[in-house]
A and B are shown apart, each in its own frame.
Chain A
Amino acid sequence: MAKKSFRQAVNEALAQEMRRDPTVVVMGEDNAGGMGAPGEDDAWGGVLGVTKGLMPEFGRDRVLDTPISESAFIGAAAGAAATGLRPVAELMFVDFMGVCFDQIFNQAGKFRYMFGGKAVTPMVVRTMFGAGFRAASQHSQCLYPIFTHTPGLKVVIPSSPYEAKGLMIQSIRDDDPVIFFEHKVMYDDEEEVPDEPYTIPFGEANVTREGDDVTVVAIGRMVGFANQVADKLEGEGIGCTVIDPRTTSPLDEDSILESVEETGRLVVVDESNPRCNLATDIAALAAENVFDALKAPIRKVTPPHTPVPFAPELEDLYIPSPEKIEAAVRDVAGHRA
C-alpha cells in the first residue's frame, strides 16, 4: 500500500468512480483548463490540481470546464443529478457559495422531500475551505455549519487522505446531495491509502485516540492537531479520546455522547467561527443529554468571531492551534470531580 497525498486520494476516488460508473461526470471552473482557448489542454486540473488527468482519460464530455457562474453550473449539476447523472461539481472556494444558495438549499436539498421521496439528487459539491493558506478573508472561511444547518444536505469533512478517498467514493454513490469539504492546506498531507476503491459510511465517527480522562471532538484539519495533543498528554497521564465525526450531517451523536459519559469531560475543536458553529451544537448535545456525567465545564476551541485576517501573524493566531487545544484539555482535566 502506497503513501498518497490528500490531493491524490481525491483524484483517485474520482477516477475510479468515473471508470466504474459512466454516469459520473465532473464539472467546475478550470477542472481541466484551457476550454475554448489555445494552449495546453488540462493545463490546470482544477485550481489546485485535484482533477488533473481526468480530462485526458475521460474526455471533455465527462470533464466539463464551466463558465465563472456558480449559480449556473451548480444549478445544472442539480438538474443533471435529478435526471440520471452523478455529477461532482467543484465550487472552488466555499466562500463563493452564497451566489448559488438557492440551487443548493431550495432545489437540490429539497427535491427528495418536495417530490414525496420519488426524486433522488446524487450530486456532490466539492469545495475548498479553511484558513492558513494566506488567502485572506474571502478565500479562507470555514462555512460547513451553514450546510449542516440545512436539512436535505449531507456534509462531509475528511480529516486525512485515507478518509478523503473512502468518503468521496461514498459521496458519489450516495443518492442525496453531498457538500464535500477539502481543507486547502491539507492537500499535501500523506498517508497510506489503499489502491482499491472503498467506502466509509456516513454518520459513523472515527475514534482516532482512546483515553479515559477527556473527550476531544475535532473536525477536519483539527483532528490532526487533537491527535498531537492527545499523544503529548498521554505521557503525562492525561488520557484523551479523540473523535472525528467525519460527517456533520448526519452526525454520529451516539459515539460522542457515549464517550462523554465515560470521560465526563468534553472539549470541542472547530475551525469555524464560534456563533452557531459545530462546537456550540456538540456542546449543547452533550449538555442536554449527558449533563449528569459531566465533571467539568465543556470547553470550545474556536477562532474568534472575526473575519480571517490577512496578516500572517494574525492568521496564525486566529486558527485553533495545538497549544490552545492543550490548554483547554488541561483546564477540563484539572476539574476532578
Chain B
Amino acid sequence: MSGDIQAITMPKWGLAMEEGMVVAWHVEPGSEVGAGDDLLDIETTKITNVFEAPVGGLLRRQIVAAGETVPVGALLGVVADPAVEEGEIDAFVTRFNESFEVEAKEAAAAAPETQVVEVAGLPLAYLRMGEAEGTPILLIHGFGGDLNNWLFNLPSLAESHGVYALDLPGHGKSGKAVAKVGLEALAETLAGFMAALGIEDAHLVGHSMGGAIALQLALARPARVASLTLISPAGFGPDINADYIEGFIAAERRKEMKRLLQMLFADPELVSRDMVNDLLKYKRLDGVTAALRAIADAVFPDGRQAGVLSPRLADLAVPLQVVWGAEDRIIPASHAADLPDKVRVHLLDEVGHMPQMEAAGEVNRLIAEIAG
C-alpha cells in the first residue's frame, strides 16, 4: 500500500538554492496535517520561510530534525494513512533515500536556467517553468527587483500552469542600456516580450511598479491579458516612499542596503546577508544606477507616482484582484480603498511590501484561483 505513503521533500526556492535547514516543525508526528497548513520553517542562505504541507494526511515521520541541513529534494517527512504499517514506512524511507542520489543528479541536470530574448534591441532575461498547456502566468517584478523575487511562487504555480518570470529592462540579468522607461514604454516592452515568445495572452501578476506595468498593458491591450493579480501595486495613488527609491538608487554600502531592504518587509529579520549581497552585486554592475535613475525619473518623478491608473479601472473588463500587505511602508495599502466593487481586494495582516515572499502560500492560492 505504498501508494498511501507521501514524501515531504525539501523545496527548491530560487535557482541558487541547493540546501535548506529545518528551523522548526509546526506539526508533531502522529498529528493530522491539512494540505496548505504550515508544516515547518525552512532557512536558506537568503531567507527563512514557512513551508506549507503540499499534501494532507497523518504526519507519520519527521525524518529531518530541527537544526539539520539537507539538500533540495531530500526527504523531510512522511505522510501516510494510519492503516500503513511502520515496516512499510521504513521500507519507503529506505527506497526513497537509495534513489534520491540518482534523482538529485538528474534534477540538477534538468534545473531551469534563465534564457534571454531580445526585445527592441535590448536583451531580456527570463525563466520558464511548468509544463502545463493553456494560458500561462507571467510574473513582473517591481523597481530594483528581479525574477528571483518570485522564488516562493514559481515552483508552486508551475505545478498547474506554464509560468514565465522576466527581468525588466535595467534589472537582473537584462540589458542595462534602457531607452524608453515610462510606464507606457515598459508595458510596450512587456507586450514585445510576450510577442517574442509567442505568448498570445497571459495571466499577469505584477508586483509594485510591475503591477502598474501590468495594469497599463491591460488598459492598452486588454486582449493580451487574461487576468490581473496586482501585488502592492504602483498606479493606484500618488504616494510612494521616496526615501526608499532614492536610497536604493544611491546605496553602495552594505549597511545602507540592509536598512533599505528592511523597509520592504513587516519582519526585518527576513533580510539576510545573502539578500543584501545579491542586491549590492546587482547595483555594482555598470549601467545599473543610470538605468534605475532614468526609470525612477519617469515613473516616480519628484517622489510621487506619475501614473495613477486606478480611475480607469471602471472601463476594464479583465478580471482583477489586488493583494496588499497591511504594513506596506513603500506604497500605502490605503491606495486599495475606494476601488470599484468588481475588484477583489485582499489585505494581508502582518505583511509588508513583499506579500509574494512574506505570505507566499496565500498569494500562490490567490493567483491559482484567478488563473483557473
Q: Which residues of A contact B (CB under 8 A)?
A: 1, 162, 166, 194, 196-201, 204, 206-207, 210, 255
Contact = CB atoms under 8 A, between A and B. Distances in A.
Contacts of B253: 201, 204
A200 B282 CA distance: 11
B365 interface: no
A163 to B, nearest CB: 11
Contacts of A166: 284
Given A201-B253, A204-B252, A204-B253, A210 B273 contact: yes
Contact of A204 (B254, B273, B287): B254
Interface residues of B, number: 11
Contacts of B273: 207, 210
Contacts of B285: 194, 196-198
B46 interface: no
Contact of A199 (B173, B176, B254, B284): B284
B254 A201 contact: no
B155 to A, nearest CB: 21
Interface string B263-299: 0000000000100000001001111000000000000
A305 B252 CA distance: 39
B281 A198 contact: yes
Contact of B254 (A197, A198, A207): A207
A196 B176 contact: yes
Contacts of B254: 204, 206-207, 255
Contacts of A198: 281, 284-286
B148 to A, nearest CB: 13
A194 B288 CA distance: 13
Nearest to A199: B284
Contacts of A197: 285-286
Interface of A is mostly: loop
Contacts of A1: 173
A210 B254 CA distance: 13
Interface string B238-270: 000000000000001110000000000000000
B286 A201 contact: no
Q: Which 10 pairs show the lowest CB-CB distances between chains A and B?
A: A198-B284, A197-B286, A198-B285, A196-B285, A201-B252, A210-B273, A204-B253, A199-B284, A166-B284, A196-B286
Contacts of B252: 201, 204
Interface string B156-179: 000000000000000001001000
A40 to B, nearest CB: 34
A44 to B, nearest CB: 30
A207 B275 CA distance: 13
Nearest to A205: B254
12 contacts: A1-B173, A194-B281, A196-B286, A196-B287, A197-B286, A198-B281, A198-B284, A198-B285, A199-B286, A200-B284, A204-B253, A204-B254
A230 B285 CA distance: 29
B258 to A, nearest CB: 10
Nearest to B273: A210
Contacts of B286: 196-199
Contacts of B281: 162, 194, 198
A281 B37 CA distance: 54
Nearest to B253: A204
A205 to B, nearest CB: 8
Interface in B169-220: 173, 176
Contacts of A255: 254
A199 B282 CA distance: 10
A207 B257 CA distance: 13
Contacts of B173: 1
Nearest to A203: B253
A20 to B, nearest CB: 8
A13 B273 CA distance: 26
Given A194-B285, A197-B285, A200-B284, 16 more contacts: A1-B173, A196-B176, A196-B285, A196-B286, A197-B286, A198-B285, A198-B286, A199-B284, A199-B286, A201-B252, A201-B253, A204-B252, A204-B254, A207-B254, A210-B273, A255-B254
